[in-house]
């Protein structure tokens, strides 16, 4: 299957700083990427849908000014957690669609574990 | 009531056992059903994908969907220690172009050698 790469895989930062997470589709062009957050023992929660060249669509309750999403190219989307706080500590996962009409063909990144001290 | 309910387990079985994982859902609009496997500290990987009701088999894995009962299952035959992971069910209502999945919490499975 197609490969989606996330970087960094884990990051520790101080409260108040910003952290950027990258999501890359390595061998296909992803017109749409999705960002999820997963707390321990919880399901993946969709944060936002990112379309190349346009503004991201955020889910209800997700602060767009806090979680900045940029999808500047067909192979790269970034999530920036601005002014991070301990409650933002979580596992962030991106996924990308490979242009197929098969709804099940979503490819996930390895995830990025954020710890805010 | 949450849209998707999944028993988080943990579920522990001996090697070679048949494993049954289940999810129930409340949204009758869901038509596409997926099972993902997630190893610790990794992103989910797609295992099985089914549309509407019915069964689908792939090797040791069988996915079943019963839309009348709003119930889906994943069976793993001859379970192996390498099957130890968290299994997430996911589903969506729309067809092509809609990838906004609703996930269950995941069931943590341990297969004991």
pLDDT computed for residue A99 by the predictor: 53
Q: Taking residues A35-41, report their average pLDDT.
A: 88
Residue B36: in which H helix or E strand, if any? strand B32-38
Q: Which residue in A has a C-alpha nearest to residue B5's C-alpha?
A: A43
What percent of chain B shows pLDDT beyond 90? 63
Neighboring chain A residues of B4 at a CB cutoff of 8 Å: 43
**Per-residue pLDDT, A91:** 93
Chain B residues near residue A60 by CB distance under 8 angstroms: none
Query: Do A61 and A46 meet the contact criterion of CB atoms below 8 Å apart?
Result: no
Give the confidence band of A117 by pLDDT, cuts at 50, 70, 90: very high
For an interface test with A, the pick among B101, B107, B108 (most A C-beta atoms closer than 10 Å) comes out as: B101
Task: Provide the b/e sequence for B19-45 (b: ≥16 CB within 10 Å).
Answer: bebbbbbeeeebbbbbbbbbeeebbbe
Lowest mean pLDDT among A30-39, B44-53, B83-92, B98-107: B98-107
Rg (CA), chain B: 13
pLDDT attached to residue B77:
97
Q: Quote the pLDDT of residue A1.
A: 60
Residues belonging to chain B with any Cβ–Cβ distance to chain A shorter than 8 Å? 4, 6, 8, 32, 34, 36, 41-46, 49, 88, 92, 94-101, 103-106
Per-residue pLDDT reduced to its tens digit, B21-67: 999 999 998 988 999 999 987 888 889 888 888 899 999 999 999 99
Determine the Cα–Cα distance for residues A70 and A72; give it in Å rounded to an integer: 6
Give the confidence band of A101 by pLDDT, cuts at 50, 70, 90.
very low
pLDDT at B96: 43
Instruction: Give the pLDDT of residue B46.
Output: 86
Task: Classify residue B82 by its DSSP letter.
Answer: G
Least CB–CB distance from A46: residue in B41, B49, B100: B100
Confidence of residue A82 (pLDDT cuts 50, 70, 90): very high
pLDDT band at A3 (very low <50, low <70, confident <90, very high): confident
Pairing of strands B4-6, A67-73: unpaired
């Amino acid at each position: 299957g197609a490969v989606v790469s996330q970087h960094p895989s884990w990051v520790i930062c101080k409260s108040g700083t910003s952290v950027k997470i990258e999501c890359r589709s390595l061998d296909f062009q992803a017109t749409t990427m999705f960002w999820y957050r997963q707390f321990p023992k919880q399901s993946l929660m969709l944060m936002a849908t990112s379309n190349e060249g346009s503004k991201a669509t955020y889910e209800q309750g997700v602060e767009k000014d806090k979680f900045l999403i940029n999808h500047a190219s067909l192979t790269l989307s970034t999530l920036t957690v601005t002014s991070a706080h301990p409650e933002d500590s979580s596992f962030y996962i991106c996924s990308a669609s490979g242009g197929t009409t098969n709804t099940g063909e979503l490819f996930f990144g390895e995830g990025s574990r954020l710890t805010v001290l | 009531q949450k849209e998707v309910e999944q028993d988080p387990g943990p579920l522990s079985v001996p090697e070679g056992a048949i494993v049954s994982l289940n999810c129930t859902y409340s949204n009758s609009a869901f038509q596409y059903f997926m099972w993902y496997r997630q190893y610790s500290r990794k992103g989910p990987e797609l295992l099985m994908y089914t549309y509407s009701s019915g069964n689908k088999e792939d090797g040791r894995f069988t996915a079943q969907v019963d839309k009348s009962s709003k119930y889906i299952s994943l069976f793993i035959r001859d379970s192996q220690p390498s099957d130890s992971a968290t299994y997430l069910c996911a589903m969506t209502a729309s067809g092509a172009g809609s990838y906004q999945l609703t996930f269950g919490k995941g069931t943590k499975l341990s297969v004991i050698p």
